[in-house]
Chain A
């Protein structure tokens, strides 16, 4: 999970895998994705409790 100067740089990376082309996104897209509750709540005093319940709900 790395940052690159542009899409062209990412595609030239020795470990680039075209099967994961959908994971090649502008920084703004990743910044939004990493703005969810899972990331914002990490310092909350009940985070593990919340995260455990959240994961269980995701897997249903």
Chain B
């Protein structure tokens, strides 16, 4: 079992990989960065995902599907930072937390409304909300926010 300090380092590695590339690292990437064997990297990644953060791997695999606030598969929540679109948010609400991973950057969220398909856009920079279009936009969750992983409706 990895100690918390190692999980801390692995967390930063995974998030930095998402920030830099727009997608999740493979456990072999983690192993290389930590100078450990691939199998140890696989174990470390599993332990990190099982640490309680709302992240998950594709069932039966060691591929990260989601690592908050990022999603490695395309979702309807496209995230653009300073004009570059290469990220997807885990869900519409986590999209609103994307700005904390890009301090000083202008973070834009583009998505369709799941009722009518019309476009939605939000822009944020650090503490500021720069745009909510349309202004009446709402967020909705049909599960307990912060509840147990199996109750999360975005899965």
Contacts and interface: CB of A to CB of B under 8 A. Distances in A.
26 contacts: A3-B111, A4-B114, A4-B137, A5-B116, A6-B138, A7-B136, A7-B138, A9-B113, A10-B140, A17-B142, A20-B142, A23-B142, A24-B139, A26-B137, A27-B138, A29-B139, A30-B93, A34-B97, A39-B100, A45-B8, A48-B4, A49-B4, A49-B5, A51-B52, A52-B51, A52-B52
Contacts, number: 155
Nearest to B75: A2
Interface of A: 1-7, 9-10, 12-13, 15-17, 19-20, 23-31, 33-35, 39-40, 42-43, 45-49, 51-52, 55
Nearest to A9: B115
B94 to A, nearest CB: 7
B117 to A, nearest CB: 10
Nearest to B122: A27
Given A30-B96, A31-B129, A51-B52, A42 B138 contact: no
Contacts of B76: 2
Interface residues of B, number: 53
Contacts of B5: 49
Nearest to B95: A3
A52 B1 CA distance: 15
